[in-house]
Chains A and B, each alone.
Chain A
Amino acid sequence: MAYFTQQLINAITLGAIYGLIAIGYTMVYGIIGMINFAHGEVFMIGAFISLIGFIICGSLGISSAPIAIVLVLLLAMSFSAVYGWAIERTAYRPLRGSFRLAPLISAIGVSIALQNYVQLAQGARPKPGGQIVSGGFNLFTADGFDVRVTWLQIIIVLVTIVLMAGFTWVIARTSLGRQQRACEQDMKMAALLGVNVDRTISLTFVLGAALAAVAGMLFLMYYGVIDFFIGFLAGIKAFTAAVLGGIGSLPGAMLGGLLIGLIEVFWAGYFSSEYKDVAAFAILVLVLIFRPSGLLGKPEIEKV
């Protein structure tokens, strides 16, 4: 029981990070019907900007962890948002109205370019991030096994919940969110009502990128080490999470992230940690075969 609880705590933490990245996939898919294959790279860049941010905070003598985290969070979100915007402008917008595969190919191109750019600029070796938040507490002890929750895990889950709640509120309740959903459902009609569709699509990329940057920062803090290649695996897993939850569905992305975290951690904890990635991707295959619209995906049939 103790071992199970410990795995559960770890899984929720990991699932939170996947969920944050998955939101970007699902939102972009929702609005333009395409997967942003450069999204994992935005996550990776967010992690690097966070690392640089923490180093700057250190050299400025900001020793309070909460202040440093908030500052780095804002820094990473705003810089990555620019990357998200630039990806849309360079890889997607010029190819709108072109054949469907074209923007996917250009996005993969952007992805490769960003990986190599970071590799050149930051070096290929893994970068240690140092420990920003340490410590935790014992939840309970059973069978001679301490079930531990670290402060960092609490921060990760709390930041994720706050961001997801805020984000859900923006989409469901604000005029901006309504315009975003309107573009998703009928772009031509949205334009007829005065929505600037191009700007709304840009905004979707920007919001997704900002959330991915937060995931990047949390990843850096949790694992303590990053390199230019982390975006690939995390990106594909978050993509799997988005598909599992139902691509295009916002709550689906959050649920999918959590489930992928659970699957991965429990597989590693009970079966084999070498094959944890295989477990996550086997789920992708199974979902695509048996339930392509995902757990919370929208039904395709609509009354006209």
Chain B
Amino acid sequence: MTNTSNMNLLALVKIEWLKIKKYPAFWWMFGIVALTYPGTNMMFYYGYSEGTKGKEVASNVAKMLLGNPFAFPETWHTVAFLSSVFIMIPAILVIMLVTNEYNYKTHRQNIIDGWSRGQFVTSKLFDVVIISMISTILYTAVAFSFGAWADYDNIGRWAEQLQYIPLFFLQTFAQLTIAFLLGFLIKKAFIALGIFFFYNLILENIAVGYAKFKLNDLGKFLPFEISDRIIPSPAFMSRFGKDMKEAYEKALDAIPMHIALTLILTAAIWGFCYWKHKRRDL
């Protein structure tokens, strides 16, 4: 890459930051994610501590079965899985950031003022990258804090399973890309948000569940499920019998394929957005 294009990319990021930094919804999102990630994990951690703190046999069995999902190195996996459920919070922001441009007609003004149509899409790509990075940083901080706090004896193992950090980023980026696509095509925030929530929370889950039993698990190729399976259920889930263990190992084995599928789908979506935006009337 030439120096000029490096400078251009940096300029795009700076301009997006000018748009984002005084946008109240951005700071709301930041605040809510900053509370939700530790909050949810705390809830599970509390449940875990309550279930395992007693001296009776049941508690000891539970402790033996579960291990400590929040100790290093498992915290990276557990916290990633639990936090990733809340993709809808940054998704709202992503959808707002793109539909705002249509609403304010700044998607036109940015071009009139001298951006190319490609640069406009790149600027939005950076928005999604920036928001994914912020989510990942918050996740990393929460996972590390739990690791250090839940079982200090294991702190020496902090560097194991660090792959969940880039996986969390990839999953967040991929799913926010779908949110972006909806906002980009539908242009109206409420409709795009409605479709995102309905599909992400309800429709796809039903479809995946149905496909698991009836359609040879074809649901794994659905848009969110592709990247959902980058971070399978936490390891303790594998300790509830042979079937669960097998399912867990199978899920781990499938991660590389799902990484590849996620990269392909995400690249295809962005490719489509560039292609579409260069041709359409604004």
Asked if A and B are interacting partners, one says no
- Please report A residues at the B interface, Cβ cutoff 8 Å: none
